[in-house]
């Protein structure tokens, strides 16, 4: 089992949870192809909506990648790639509440890596986030 951190606005995370899907990197296939069934996906939302200037900085969802193929959805002029996810009940966790305990945030300039949109996440960090939401 691997764990992944996807960086997505909270508004888009809520839609993904409602649909039971993962969509990464503005609908690109490459990030989804790195994931395997059974992997954990955690979403971090730096903002509520794309274009917002006010930071949100919350971990907003946690789920497990399900069996099945990546497919391309058709939303008119937007055709994002997606895959199925079984989301767990999860209350958003402010970064400030867990920052001092996460391997993710343990190095200087840790936030720079978030620009990639999808990064590996330490399994212990997953457990810290699971316990912080309960």
Residues 45 and 12: their CA atoms lie apart, in Å, by 9
pLDDT number for residue 134? 65
Helix, strand and coil content of the chain, in percent to the nearest 5, comes to: 30, 30, 45
pLDDT number for residue 51? 87
Q: Which of 61, 77, 75, 2 is nearest to 33 (CA)?
A: 2
Per-residue pLDDT band for 98 (boundaries 50, 70, 90) equals: very high
71 burial type by CB count under 10 A (0-12 exposed, 13-18 middle, 19+ buried): middle
Task: Give percent above pLDDT 90 in the chain.
Answer: 89
* Residue 81 clears pLDDT 70, i.e. is over it: yes
Q: Say which residues have a Cβ less than 8 Å from residue 77's Cβ, sequence separation at least 6.
A: none
Per-residue pLDDT band for 79 (boundaries 50, 70, 90) equals: very high
Q: Are 120 and 2 in contact (CB under 8 A)?
A: yes
């Amino acid at each position: 089992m691997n764990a992944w951190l996807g960086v997505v606005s909270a508004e888009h995370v809520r839609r993904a949870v409602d649909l039971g899907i993962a969509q990464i990197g503005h609908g690109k296939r490459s990030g989804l192809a790195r994931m395997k069934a059974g992997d954990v996906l955690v979403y971090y939302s730096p903002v509520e909506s794309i274009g917002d200037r006010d930071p949100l900085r919350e971990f907003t969802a946690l789920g497990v990648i399900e069996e099945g193929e990546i497919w391309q959805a058709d939303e008119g002029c937007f055709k994002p790639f997606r895959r199925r996810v079984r989301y767990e009940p999860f209350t958003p966790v402010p970064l400030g509440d867990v920052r001092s305990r996460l391997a993710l945030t343990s190095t200087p300039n840790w936030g720079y890596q978030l620009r990639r949109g999808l990064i590996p996440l330490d399994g212990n960090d997953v457990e810290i986030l699971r316990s912080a939401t309960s």
